[in-house]
Structure 1
Amino acid sequence: MKKVMLWMSAVAMGATLVGCGANSGTASNNATTAASSSAQQSITVAADTTFPPFETEQSGQVTGFDIELINDIAKIENLQIKNLQTMPFTGLIPALQAGQVDVAVAGITIKKTRMSAVDFSNAYYKSGISILTKTNSGIKGLNDLKGKIVATKKGTSSVDLLTKSGITNVKQFDTIDSAYSALESGGADAVVFDNPVNINFKKSHSDVTIVGGLLSGEYYGIAVNKQDPGLLNKINDGLKKMQENGQYMQ
């Protein structure tokens, strides 16, 4: 039911699941053990836990939509998640390239620049970037950000969008929570970031608002080490099965 509610919220915010869903199982930082089989493959998964509601850490447990999704895929495809490593977003792709992890989940936007370094699963979530600002800021859209201080998270699509839009006064933080803190303290005039995460923050902060509509449309995918095309096939197969059997709606 928790995932169904997330899906309903996603539709309301102009974001949708793409080609798959997930069931109502819970996630944790304990390894997921699939059915016993001699063909079982053990994998290490990396996640950035500063991306709620997709990844977050509560009471020492890593939870969120992406964590539940990769656990469900593991069960379907007879994969064993032997280790779940948390790290900053900027460390995910280097860790995959170095062979330190096999898979990364963190609401990672599928981009050509990243596809040269890692493989991506089929898209599983359609999102976009939005502007979050104080309710009385006078900011109404992207053009109003010129000359303002804008906060966002390092290494993300938001940085690319701001650069292309000629927004130069950008504060880049290791975590999106730090960007939100800058907005709250007056150290930034706006936060430009993934819309679902902005909405999640807005729910508990009545002094902020989202303005200007979505600035871009983008798709999230599961990143996989390029040296393991077989694993990529299994993840895509798991996504397809979840779509076809309606597991997400259970």
Structure 2
Amino acid sequence: MKKWFYLLIMVLTFSLLASCGTSNSESKSDEEKKEVLVMGTSADYAPFEYIDTAKGSDIIGIDVDIAKAITERLGYELEIQDMDFNGLIPALQSNKVDFVLAGMSVTPERKESVDFSDVYYSAKHMIVSKADSGIQTVEDLEGKTVGVQLASVQEEKANEIAETINVTVENRNRISEVIQEIKSGRFDAAIIEDSVAKGYLEKDADLQGFVIEEENAEENGYAIAFPKGSELTEKFNEELQKMKESGELEEILVKWFDGE
């Protein structure tokens, strides 16, 4: 009887060990899975990041293509979180996202809070208004209400203009809201990044726009933002440089500005 009892104990022991071996194998498999990097963005900024509801619910655009290319090269999985633009830097600071790609301009103020990659695109400011507004120059904004996206470099530009002429500056969370305020008559005009503004002008004949010519336009360059001291900054810069040298970055820009 004891012999059968010992045999039973041995069978159970081997079964337990085999089970542990399977568990370890599964754990190893989990460890081999790619690490996920979370990208923060504000998906209202076509062609950089937006949702084409006619094609689905995914966020698409220039910045998404850049993020996918770099994270794939570095061996990461990419997760994208959509939020209001003014919440992006706080999200970096609180480690809710690993990096931000959102048509974000490099400014001295932002550099105090986050680290930036090299510039991947240089933007221009465009003043948008109704086609019959009579606004053709910056000086024509005298006495007008100008809309901007909250926490954007265009808000800084509007405040700069307001120091020289009488302009009331108001902000909204999203570009689409700013455009709607123009159409409803609550804003006389808005300052929007030119490639984004052109997308709205092409769709709406009731709107017009002109680019603000500036001597230091390169200061409006877009870059990828990271938490202070992030090891990702250097890694992303290396891949970004490779994309510039190979022409892949230019292909992405042409795809979205001219192709789509």
The two structures have a TM-score, normalised by structure 1, of 0.80
Q: Is 1:78–2:72 an aligned residue pair?
A: no
Match of 1:224 in 2: 226
The whole-number CA distance in structure 2 between the counterparts of 1:116 and 1:224 is: 12
Deviation at 1:55, TM superposition (A): 0.5
Residues 197-227 of structure 1: CA deviation (Å, up to 9, x unaligned): 1111101011111135445621000111114
* Aligned residue runs from structure 1 range 112-151, under 5 A: 112-151=108-147
CA contact (8 A) 1:141 1:212 kept: no
Structure with the bigger percentage of strand: 1
Q: Is 1:57–2:57 an aligned residue pair?
A: no
Q: Secondary structure, in 3 states, of the residue corresponding to 1:224? A: strand
* Aligned residue runs from structure 1 range 21-100, under 5 A: 41-58=35-52, 59-81=56-78, 83-100=79-96
Stretches of structure 2 that go unaligned for 5 or more consecutive residues are: 1-30, 253-260
Q: Choose the corresponding residue for 1:103, options 81, 99, 102.
A: 99
Moved over 4 A (4+): 37-41
Q: Structure 1 77/162 Cα, relative in aligned 2: closer, same or farther at 3 Å?
A: same
Match of 1:177 in 2: 176
Q: Which has the larger radius of gyration?
A: 2
Letter in 2 for 1:208: L
The whole-number CA distance in structure 2 between the counterparts of 1:214 and 1:73 is: 33
The whole-number CA distance in structure 2 between the counterparts of 1:133 and 1:242 is: 36
| Cα RMSD after superposing both structures | 2.1
The whole-number CA distance in structure 2 between the counterparts of 1:244 and 1:194 is: 26
- Matched residues, number: 213
Query: Quick one: higher RCO (CA 8 Å, sep 6+), 1 or 2?
Result: 1
Structure with the bigger percentage of helix: 2
Stretches of structure 1 that go unaligned for 5 or more consecutive residues are: 1-36
Letter in 2 for 1:125: Y
